[in-house]
């Protein structure tokens, strides 16, 4: 499946969310609608794995090497779900984390524990001996970014950018803040799968230059939640759980 086979929506006509609004969406999902974080994370990771399979792995991941870069937050948790699903699809998955597994907490720790139990290869940082992958999944840093990436996270971004391998980012390319600030370093992705609604950063050309192709995935946010925030959305995902918002520049 190529990018042309995903339904197309007009990026400019879809509401864009600020960081504060995304925080409110996350809060309301859990507290008001009883949709748990693990459910949202599973939806994000499932859609990310599907896009990876169909857009970058020729519709068949079996035997293909995938490097998953995962931070310890929610973005990393979604990438870990993606890693599990790609492993189940038959891909050769290596997960590189920004922290020791003992430093993970909450739902991301739960997702990492599952991968450990099923025997997926996991390392802290990307080992120099790692096999050259067919695809890199970027789940290093999400919309909670404050300032320039540092330490292992920064090194992962630099190595991903230096590779000839395409990078698929989850929600926002790591190093990009939702207010549009491009930190250093920042991922230059071949494609980005953002979640729920686009972020306000995507209204800026400098940010879109980092996203590559831009897709939007359903994580099952109720339309009633958006309406309570004064946001009119419509049935974006009536045809597919993933829609295409922008082709490569």
- pLDDT tens digits for 34-52? 999 999 999 999 999 999 9
Average pLDDT over residues 158-177: 95
H-helix or E-strand containing 84? helix 74-89
A 10 A CB-CB count for 109 gives: 16
Mind listing the pLDDT tens digit for each residue in 63-107?
999 999 999 999 999 999 999 999 999 999 999 999 999 999 999
Distances (CA, A) of 30 to 19, 26, 40, 112, 172: 17, 7, 10, 21, 22
Instruction: Report yes or no on whether pTM surpasses 0.85.
Output: yes
Predicted local distance difference test score (pLDDT) of residue 146: 74
Question: What is the pLDDT confidence band of residue 181, given thresholds at 50, 70 and 90?
Answer: confident
Q: How far apart are CA 156 and CA 149, in angstroms?
A: 10
CB 57 within 8 A of CB 134: yes
Predicted local distance difference test score (pLDDT) of residue 248: 64
Predicted local distance difference test score (pLDDT) of residue 1: 46
Q: What does 199-243 look like in DSSP terms, one character per residue?
A: BGGGGSHHHHHHH-EEEEE-----HHHHHHTT-----TTSS-SEE
Predicted local distance difference test score (pLDDT) of residue 177: 84
Q: Is the pLDDT of residue 14 over 70?
A: yes
| Greatest pairwise CA separation for the chain in angstroms | 51
CATH number of this structure's domain 3-244: 3.40.50.10260
Strands (E), 36-184: 65-70, 92-97, 121-124, 135-139, 167-170
Q: Is the pLDDT of residue 2 over 70?
A: no
Predicted local distance difference test score (pLDDT) of residue 144: 66
The CA-based angle 34-137-2, given to 5 degrees, is: 95
Sheet of 92-97: strand order equals: 121-124, 92-97, 65-70, 135-139, 167-170, 191-195, 213-217, 242-246
Question: Over the chain, what is the mean pLDDT?
Answer: 92
Q: Is the pLDDT of residue 55 over 50?
A: yes
């Amino acid at each position: 499946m190529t990018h042309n086979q995903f339904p197309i929506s007009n990026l400019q006509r879809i509401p864009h969310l600020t960081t504060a609004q995304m925080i409110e969406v996350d809060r309301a999902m859990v507290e008001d609608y009883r949709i748990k974080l693990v459910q949202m994370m599973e939806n994000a990771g499932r859609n990310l794995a599907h896009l990876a399979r169909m857009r970058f792995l020729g519709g068949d991941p079996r035997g293909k090497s995938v490097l998953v870069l995962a931070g310890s937050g929610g973005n990393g948790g979604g990438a870990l779900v993606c890693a599990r699903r790609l492993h189940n699809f038959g891909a050769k998955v290596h997960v590189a984390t920004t922290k020791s597994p003992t430093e993970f907490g909450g739902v991301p720790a739960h997702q990492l524990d599952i991968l450990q139990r099923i025997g997926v290869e996991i390392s802290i940082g990307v080992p120099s001996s790692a096999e050259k992958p067919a695809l890199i999944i970027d789940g290093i840093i999400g919309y909670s970014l404050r300032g320039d990436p540092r330490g292992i996270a920064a090194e992962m971004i630099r190595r991903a950018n230096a590779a000839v391998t395409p990078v698929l980012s989850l929600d926002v390319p790591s190093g990009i803040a939702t207010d549009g600030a491009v930190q250093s370093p920042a991922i230059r992705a071949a494609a980005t799968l953002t979640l729920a609604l686009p972020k306000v950063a995507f209204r800026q050309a400098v940010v879109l230059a980092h996203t590559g192709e831009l897709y939007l995935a359903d994580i099952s946010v109720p339309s009633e939640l958006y309406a309570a925030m004064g946001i009119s959305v419509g049935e974006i995902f009536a045809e597919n759980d993933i829609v295409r918002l922008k082709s490569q520049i």
